[in-house]
Structures are given as structure tokens and as C-alpha cells.
Amino acid sequence: MKNVKVILISVALCATIFANARIEALGGDAGFWPGDRANVELYPGALNDGNWVEFGGVQGTPSGSINYGDDVKWGFNFDAAGNDDWMNMSWAKDGMGLSVAMLSSSTAGVDVSGFDVAWGQTMSFGELGVSYSTKDDGGVNDAMTDLTVNWRNACDAWLFDMAKASLSMTDDGAGKTGTLLTYDLFTHIKPVDGVTALLAMGFAYSTEDDNGAENTEMWLPDALLAVEASMTDWATVRAFVGQTHVFSNDLDGVDGDTGNVYTDAGFGVGFGWTTANGSSVSLDMEVNNSLFTDPIGTMTGFNSANMNNGEVTISYEF
């Protein structure tokens, strides 16, 4: 049976920002990498931090994002996945950020409507991000909802100097509800110039009610190790390995599997250049594992079934 954490995460409704290849190659959680543009999805206050034009999914389903302005930032987002967006835009000022996505579409007699709103700001107690989504497809999954709260701040705990937490509550509109609570400690280690290593350890607790069948799980530890290293001033390599140890597992009153039941790994490369006006251009790629298991087939395209599994992001920061 799939673990509850994966099920809860898969209930994402209408993300305002597309996947970022750099973050995917470093474990998939932007919260561990303050300063990356992908943080605006978790902490919308980060919309104040820069101006950019970014394109993702160039190898499959395209998406795009622009964020610009001086004292006031305006942003617009485009995502071909689902093609349900009627409007998807953002606004930021004085450390506060707000994003709003409206859904409206009709395909083959199926009407889709809903919205996704997210707000965030840096407070005295840390960075805060709150999002609420609802989607109605007129079918079995009627009025799906998701409420998520994210927090991050500096800390001083053993080896770690940063902490973050997240609380998410979901309802798929068909009798399945879930709650996911996570807390992570993390730090960045720089053993030599040009190399940054992330070490993160935390726990997660989830509960799911699927039409009366109750499942609960606890992960301790939920660990991640990631490394980003500069080969030259224009090329970077990235890699990660993550491991989830299921500490307790109750599947509707029956003991489920425990132990290190989930391990993941990934790789990526990035290329960056400075333009004549001082801006920057970057190309980031998540490298599919098939490059190492079948390098010839991957490079020649004969294993096309696996070619679209890696994310590609092109960015221009100004």
C-alpha cells in the first residue's frame, strides 16, 4: 500500500509556480534552499526578493513565470498542465506577497472551477506562508480543498541552524480527508569554496480517513543529504539522497510495515552566464537516472519512454 504521506502530497490542486529543476535535483523541497525562486510557492513573501522570467517543462508540458517591479512586484504565471487556469498572478510589497489563481474551463461537458490563494510575509518569529485551494470538477471529486501553513526560521539546535514546519489538511471531495504535519532541522555546510552540502533531519506525522478507513504513519527520521558543487564558474553539478524511516504505521487497526521503506536519489546539472548588462541566464536540468544505467540509449533517444522524467528550467534574472 502507498504510504499516507505520498497520498496526501498528491492531492495538490493548482500550484501557482511550476517545478524548478535545481530544487528537484536537490531533493525537491525549496524550503531547504532559502533564496531560490521556488520558495515563492511555500513563502509568497519571497516574491519581493527579485525579478525574473522563467520557463519550465520545456521537455514536455510547458510553463512560464514572470516577476518584476521595484517597490511593488507584479507576477504572472502560465501552466499548460490541465489548462484550467483562467488567471494566475501575484503581487508583492514591503516584504508581503500574495498570489491568486482562478480556475475556469469546460472540456467534453466537464466544467472545472475553483481558486488557489496564497499569502506570506516575514514576521518576527520567522517566514510564514499560508495557502488555500478549492476545486470543483462536477464529478466524484467535488469541492476538493487544501489548506497549508508553512513556517521557517533560524535556530540553534545541535548541528542545525535552520528549522521549518508545515501543516497541510486536505479533502478530496469524495470522502477522503488527510492531515500531514512535518518538522525539519537543517543546515548548509561549505567544506570548500564552490561546494554546498545540505543536511536535513526531521519527522512527519500523517493521518488519513478514507471513507471510514483510518490510516496513520509517523516518520522518524525523515532525512535528506544534498550537494551542489561548482565545476567551473558557469557549470554546477547537483545530487541528493533522501531516506524515510517509518517509525509507526497503523493501517485501519492493522500494523503496517516499518523501517527504511522509502529511499530516493537524484542528480542534476546547471549552467549559468552573466549578461552584458549584469543580469544572469541559467539553464538547470534534473538528470534522469537512466543516463547512468543506459547512457547510450539516453543520449541517442532510444529509451524515449524515460526521456521526459527529468525537469528542465530556463531562467533570466534581472
Confidence band for 37, pLDDT divided at 50, 70 and 90: very high
**What share of the chain in percent tops pLDDT 70?**
85
For position 123, what pLDDT does the model report? 96
Confidence band for 7, pLDDT divided at 50, 70 and 90: very low
pLDDT higher than 50, residue 11: no
pTM for this entry? 0.90
CA distance 132 to 143: 13
Query: Higher model confidence: residue 86 or residue 7?
Result: 86
Query: Mean pLDDT throughout 5-27?
Result: 63
pLDDT higher than 70, residue 5: no
For position 303, what pLDDT does the model report? 55
Q: 132-170, pLDDT tens digit by residue?
A: 999 998 776 678 999 999 999 999 999 999 999 999 999
pLDDT higher than 50, residue 15: no
Domains and CATH numbers, the chain: 4-317 (2.40.160)
User: Exposed/middle/buried for 237, CB within 10 Å: 0-12, 13-18, 19+?
Assistant: middle
For position 291, what pLDDT does the model report? 59
pLDDT higher than 80, residue 230: yes
For position 302, what pLDDT does the model report? 56
For position 82, what pLDDT does the model report? 60
CA distance 240 to 186: 14
List strand residue ranges (DSSP E) for 256-317, in order: 259-274, 280-287, 312-317
Confidence band for 301, pLDDT divided at 50, 70 and 90: low
User: Exposed/middle/buried for 110, CB within 10 Å: 0-12, 13-18, 19+?
Assistant: exposed
Q: 170-217, pLDDT tens digit by residue?
A: 999 889 999 999 999 999 999 999 999 999 999 999 999 999 999 999
Query: Among 306, 197, 181, which Cα is nearest to 241's?
Result: 197
For position 9, what pLDDT does the model report? 45
Pseudo-torsion of CA 187, 190, 194, 197, nearest 10°?
Answer: -40
Q: 59-116, pLDDT tens digit by residue?
A: 677 889 999 999 999 999 988 766 688 889 999 999 999 999 999 988 888 888 999 9
pLDDT higher than 90, residue 2: no
For position 91, what pLDDT does the model report? 98
For position 159, what pLDDT does the model report? 95
